Structure 1
Amino acid sequence: MAIFRDANAAPHLHPVPNDVEDVKPTAIHDRPIGDIIRRKKKLSAEQVDQVLQFQREKGVRFGEAAVALGLASDDDVLFALSQQFHYPYAPDQRRELRSELITATQPFSHQAEAFRAIRSQLMMRLFTADEPRRALAVVSPDPGDGKTFFTANLAVVLSQLGGRTLLVDCDMRGPRQHEVFELDSSSGLSGILSGRAETNVIKHIPNLPSLFVLPVGITPPNPLELVERPAFGLLMRELLNKFDHVIVDTPAAAYGSDASVIAARCGSALVVARQGRSRVDRLQDLVATLTGSPAKLAGVIMNEY
Structure 2
Amino acid sequence: MQETAAHPDDFLLPPPGQNPDGSLKTPPPLYPGLEDFRLLEKMGDGAFSKVYKAYDLRHRRPVAIKVVRKYQLSNSQRASVLKEAAIMRGLSHPNIARLYGFRESDDYYYLMLELLTGGELFHRIVKLTYFSEALARHVILQVAEGIRYLHEEKGVVHRDIKPENILFEPIPIRPSGPNAPAAPYDEDKVDEGIFVDGVGGGGIGRVKIADFGLSKEVWGESTMTPCGTVGYTAPEIVKDERYSMGVDMWALGCVLYTMLCGFPPFYDENVQMLTEKVARGQYSFLSPWWDDISTEAKDLITHLLKVDPRERYTIREFLEHPW
Q: Give the TM bin, normalised by the shorter chain.
A: under 0.3
RCO higher in structure (CA 8 A, sep ≥6): 1
Return the structure number with greater helix share.
1
| TM-score, normalised via structure 2 length | 0.27
Return the structure number with greater strand share.
2
| TM-score, normalised via structure 1 length | 0.28
